[in-house]
Amino acid sequence: MNGFVPPPRLLMGPGPISCHPRVLQAMSQQLVGQFDPSMTACMNDTMALYRDVFRTRNHWTFMVDSTARGGIEAALVSLLKPGERVLVPVIGRFGLLLKEIAERVGAEVHCIDVEWGRVAEPGQVAAAIDRFKPQLVALVQGDTSTTMCQPLAEIGQLCREKGLLSYCDATASIGGNRFLTDEWGISAVSAGLQKCLGGPSGIAPITLNIDAVERINRRRHVEAGIRASHHRNAAGARIGSNYFDLAMIMDYWGEERLNHHTEATSMLYAARECARLWLEEGGDNVIARHQRAGAAMAAGLEAMGLRLFGDSHYRMNNVTGVYIPLGVDGEKVRAQLLQEFAIEIGTSFGPLHGRIWRIGTMGYNARIDAVLQTLACLEQVLLLNRVTVNAGDAVAAALDIFKS
Ligand SMILES: *Cc1c(COP(=O)(O)O)cnc(C)c1O
């Protein structure tokens, strides 16, 4: 059997995106033992680099070895215990994921259900906090399912004033939209590499402030030398996750270096390189690049004659939702775009299924050539499908944005 040779692809969906070549190169480096001083130094460097990405001074800024979903799960299973109350403003599919994970922990979950394409208002959250008295508010910043970016400054402040913990899934938005962990006062944040940071999926950067760390440490039990933070059921048996126990993962990343799992070394190299790229370009410049690429994509799609989805005031910089023209088979267009032009764009889920495409402009692909190529090829495919478009206008409109 031959080795797998991936076909050339331009990944312009809601993630993953084409990986930055320097990240691929970093991942091909040789392994070292996980307690080798060079390795522990690499781990410490990575912690420092991600403090910059998360805009935080939190000491506990480290990696959960799993895809972004594992970072979310680690945060929620470690911060919540059965019977505790959690408030989840749900603006899309990933809000529903937070709800599901919290339910699986046995927490009492209260949701604020927001129509897809909108965001939660701070007033709604404040009222729900007063009524429901949660111990934790968990929410998503950029929910790729709807392309909306939830403002967090006021909600973070609200949680701080009321003495609640807050958790945010910033996987899809960090790097492409502003995320200020300390300034907004968010207690715990997790992310991934495969959206705006230009890497592959497979590792989840996470940051915890002192309140979150204290909540986790208060629940530690020492047994056979292992300081896990599990809970017990009525019969006294341990329940909850071992792999995603942040108490144990912190012991592994901390001074004591207590063994927990084998480091996903190649993924750590990838995470480190993603953050180095971020620092080299400058965080604000990375966000500005996403903002420009997203604005150019949106302008191009509108110039073509298509209609954008969602509240324009709260759109993410890095994913654009666009209505599929009436009478067009959205899946056929996606297949043609992939087969003829090697470009992948995204479908959608739930209430938006069959109604919108989602087009990403993120990480390595938040570039002028990637945007222009996608617009030009989508236009051709739509013409092939007998859709009336303003031929030629899309690329021109996008170019205008890049040149302005
Ligand atoms: C893409 C995305 C994830 C991805 O999770 P994985 O486990 O890496 O697939 C998580 N949260 C949000 C909001 C996302 O958009």
pLDDT digits (tens, 9 = 90+) for 185-221: 999 999 999 999 999 999 999 999 999 999 999 888 7
Q: What mean pLDDT comes out for the span 346-369? A: 97
DSSP notation for 29-42: SPP--TTSHHHHHH
Pick among 1.10.220.10, 3.40.50.620, 3.40.47.10, 3.40.640.10: CATH of 19-278? 3.40.640.10
Pocket test for ligand 1, best of 17, 72, 76, 171 (most atoms within 8 A of CB): 171
- The whole-number pLDDT of residue 87 equals 98
Torsion angle, alpha carbons of 99, 101, 103, 107, to 10: -100
d(C-alpha 251, C-alpha 315), whole Å: 39
pTM of the model: 0.97
CA of 58 relative to ligand 1 center, distance in Å: 23
Tens of pLDDT along 104-151?
999 999 999 999 999 999 999 999 999 999 999 999 999 999 999 999
pLDDT bin (cut points 50, 70, 90) of residue 224 is low
Mean pLDDT, residues 296-323 taken together:
98
Going by CA atoms, what residue is nearest to atom 14 of ligand 1?
172
Q: What is the pLDDT of residue 219?
A: 81
Q: Please state, for a pLDDT cut of 90, what percent of the chain lies above it.
A: 93
pLDDT score recorded for residue 225: 65
The dihedral through the CA atoms of 195, 196, 198, 204 has a sign that is: negative
> Domain boundaries in the chain?
19-278, 283-403
Pair 89, 154: CB distance under 8 Å: no
Residue 90 CA to ligand 1 centre (angstroms): 15
Q: What pLDDT, on the 0 to 100 scale, is given for residue 226?
A: 65
Burial track 249-269 (b if 16+ CB lie within 10 A, e otherwise): bbbbbeeeeeebeebbbbbbb
Is the pLDDT reported for residue 223 higher than 80? no
Question: One fold for both 19-278 and 283-403?
Answer: no
CB 175 within 8 A of CB 365: no
| Arithmetic mean of pLDDT, 305-317 | 97
Type of residue found at 105:
V
Of 275, 273, 310, the closest CA to residue 294 belongs to: 310
CA distance 342 to 90: 34
Q: Which CATH class is domain 283-403?
A: alpha beta
Taking residues 157-168, report their average pLDDT: 97
Show the CA angle centred on residue 25, arms to residues 21 and 29, nearest 5°: 165
Q: Using an 8 Å Cβ cutoff, are 181 and 203 in contact?
A: no
